[in-house]
């Protein structure tokens, strides 16, 4: 089991919020007057700019969230082109999350399986009065969201578990289960996520409460000039099945043959192959560093072809 250091920042006194829980979607999820915010730590432009270098990799995450990958690839001398394919919207259960956290803090685990799920959970956790909860995360990328927020806000949260491999299936099989009769899990997730995690936990005897707190949808508009430029890049990077579907819907069969697809993990790669994409690369161990390795592998294959 992968180990994470527990966060040691002081917990502020809990105070119940009487304000109603509302969202503004412009276009990502946001809560009223949040006290902390995650921003990409790279330069203001999310595409790493290398003077005189033609873009080789298309980065497709939600606008404003491509800087980390672009900056990492820039260290390898690779320029990126930002083409956001997805955006996040409010899920049907989002309004319930602060109430569930504030009125039923007896969950043995809160399971978080993506950075976006982590951000949405943390906002609701604050609204709920920062109750004591024990969190299991799918991998280092998701854990980093909690580390950044906790350091910036001075709050404490118990990040107690990550699986030996960063997939939902392995998380469900390895999440520690206490000897007591009833062991409960709160699972805030994307409405697009499969049932793999809750089914795996239920089969092991956990009681699972799933809340669909957000969803992922294609962007409403794609700049055709940027898309034309993207189609001349040898590699497109994707971090979710939703991004794969959005990409496939944008391009023709003849165009997709010339572009390799570098996926963040096995689940996204399976979606890419199922969609008919041919040159699909993904790491054995899912995660950010493995994703970079897959992108570099795809570029090497292109250069040698």
Residue pLDDT, tens place only, 163-188: 999 899 999 999 999 887 789 999 99
Both 271 and 223 in a single domain? yes
Name the least confident of 14-28, 48-62, 114-128, 241-255: 14-28
Both 101 and 197 in a single domain? yes
Query: By residue range, what is the domain housing residue 299?
Result: 57-85+219-304
Contact criterion met (CB below 8 Å) for 80 and 48: yes
The number of domains in the chain is 2
Instruction: With respect to residue 208, please indicate whether it lies within any of the assigned structural domains.
Output: yes
Instruction: With respect to residue 248, please indicate whether it lies within any of the assigned structural domains.
Output: yes
pLDDT tens for each residue of 252-273: 866 766 799 999 998 899 999 9
Whole-model pTM? 0.76
Range among 103-117, 134-148, 175-189, 198-212 rated most confident: 198-212
Instruction: With respect to residue 64, please indicate whether it lies within any of the assigned structural domains.
Output: yes
CA 225 to chain centre: 28
φ, ψ for residue 29 (rounded to 5)? -65, 135
The enclosing domain of 110 has a CATH number of: 3.40.50.10090
| Higher pLDDT, residue 41 or 232 | 232
Say whether 39 sits in a helix, a strand or coil.
Answer: coil
User: Looking at residues 296-304, what average pLDDT do you find?
Assistant: 95
pLDDT given for residue 256 in this prediction? 67
CB atoms < 10 A from the CB of 214, how many?
27
Both 187 and 267 in a single domain? no
Both 207 and 106 in a single domain? yes
Percent of the chain with pLDDT over 70: 79
Both 209 and 224 in a single domain? no
Instruction: With respect to residue 4, please indicate whether it lies within any of the assigned structural domains.
Output: no
Instruction: With respect to residue 48, please indicate whether it lies within any of the assigned structural domains.
Output: no
What is the biggest distance separating any 2 CA atoms in the chain, rounded to whole angstroms?
64
Both 182 and 145 in a single domain? yes
Both 174 and 225 in a single domain? no
Both 79 and 169 in a single domain? no
pLDDT given for residue 277 in this prediction? 92
The residues that bridge with 190 in the sheet, in sequence order, are: 214
| Higher pLDDT, residue 126 or 50 | 126
CA distances, 111 to each of 11, 143, 204, 293 (Å): 21, 11, 15, 27
Both 81 and 224 in a single domain? yes
Of 217, 249, 274, the last residue of a domain is: 217
- Around 136, how many Cα atoms within 13 Å sit in the side-chain half-sphere? 28
Q: Which residues contact 225 (CB under 8 A, 6 or more apart)?
A: none
Q: Which two tokens stand for residue 67?
A: 């800087």
User: Looking at residues 43-71, what average pLDDT do you find?
Assistant: 77
Both 143 and 190 in a single domain? yes
Of 183, 217, 251, the last residue of a domain is: 217
| Higher pLDDT, residue 225 or 151 | 225
Percent of the chain with pLDDT over 90: 63
CA 144 to chain centre: 11
């Amino acid at each position: 089991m992968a180990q994470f250091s527990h966060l040691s920042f002081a917990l502020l006194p809990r105070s119940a919020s009487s304000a109603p829980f509302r969202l503004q979607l412009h276009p990502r999820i946001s809560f009223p007057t949040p006290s902390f915010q995650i921003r990409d730590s790279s330069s203001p432009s999310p595409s790493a700019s290398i003077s005189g270098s033609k873009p080789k990799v298309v980065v497709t995450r939600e606008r404003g969230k491509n800087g980390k990958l672009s900056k990492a690839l820039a260290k390898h001398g690779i320029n990126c082109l930002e083409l956001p394919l997805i955006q996040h919207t409010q899920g049907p259960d989002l309004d319930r999350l602060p109430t569930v956290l504030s009125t039923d803090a007896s969950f043995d685990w809160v399971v978080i399986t993506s950075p976006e799920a982590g951000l949405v959970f943390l906002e609701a956790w604050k609204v709920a009065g920062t109750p004591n909860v024990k969190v299991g995360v799918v991998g280092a990328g998701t854990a980093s969201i909690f580390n950044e927020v906790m350091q910036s806000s001075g709050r404490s949260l118990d990040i107690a578990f990550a699986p030996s491999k960063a997939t939902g299936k392995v998380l469900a099989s390895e999440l520690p289960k206490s000897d007591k009769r009833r062991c409960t899990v709160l699972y805030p997730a994307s409405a697009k996520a499969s049932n793999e995690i809750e089914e795996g936990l239920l089969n092991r005897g956990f009681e699972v409460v799933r809340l669909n707190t957000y969803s992922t949808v294609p962007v409403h508009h794609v700049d055709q000039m940027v898309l034309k430029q993207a189609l001349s890049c040898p590699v497109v990077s994707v971090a979710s099945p939703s991004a794969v579907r959005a990409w496939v819907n944008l391009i023709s069969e003849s165009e997709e043959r010339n572009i390799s697809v570098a996926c963040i993990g096995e689940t996204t790669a399976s979606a890419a192959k199922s969609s008919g994409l041919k040159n699909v690369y993904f790491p054995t161990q899912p995660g950010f560093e493995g994703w970079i390795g897959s992108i570099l592998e795809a570029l090497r294959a292109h250069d040698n072809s």
